[in-house]
Amino acid sequence: MGLTVIKETYRANRQSYKLDLALNGNYIIELFSFPNPPQRPSQPEAAGLRHLAFAVKDIEAAVKHLKQYNIQTETIRIDAITGKKFVFFADPDDLPLEFYQQ
């Protein structure tokens, strides 16, 4: 598929692996492997597609925009692997979406 492995990380506290992939130098996909993922569509990790993430230039501005429409977000966090900011919020069906700073 032309993807490049950026980093493979074993997360001992979750007994899982995280694989960060890029396409044409752009960080685009995180794949997770869990020994026994829960059979549910969302929180915290589940089998299958968990959520979509959207790249944003200014995460604080993106969160401010959501709050103008009464959309609650989690606290902005820092990705320990990339050092970039990210935040989760829910779609109208209460499934997680993510903003990830470019």
Tens digit of each residue's pLDDT, the chain (102 residues): 678 999 999 989 888 898 888 888 887 788 878 787 766 666 666 666 677 888 899 999 999 999 999 999 999 999 988 899 999 998 877 778 899 998
**Full-model pTM:** 0.63
Give one word for 37, left, alpha or beta, with left for phi > 0 and alpha for psi -120 to 50.
beta
pLDDT the model gives residue 14: 84
* CATH topology classification for 51-102: 2,3-Dihydroxybiphenyl 1,2-Dioxygenase; domain 1 (3.10.180)
**Per-domain residue ranges for the chain?**
1-48, 51-102
Task: Give the per-residue pLDDT at 43.
Answer: 62
Location of structure tokens 């492997």 = 33
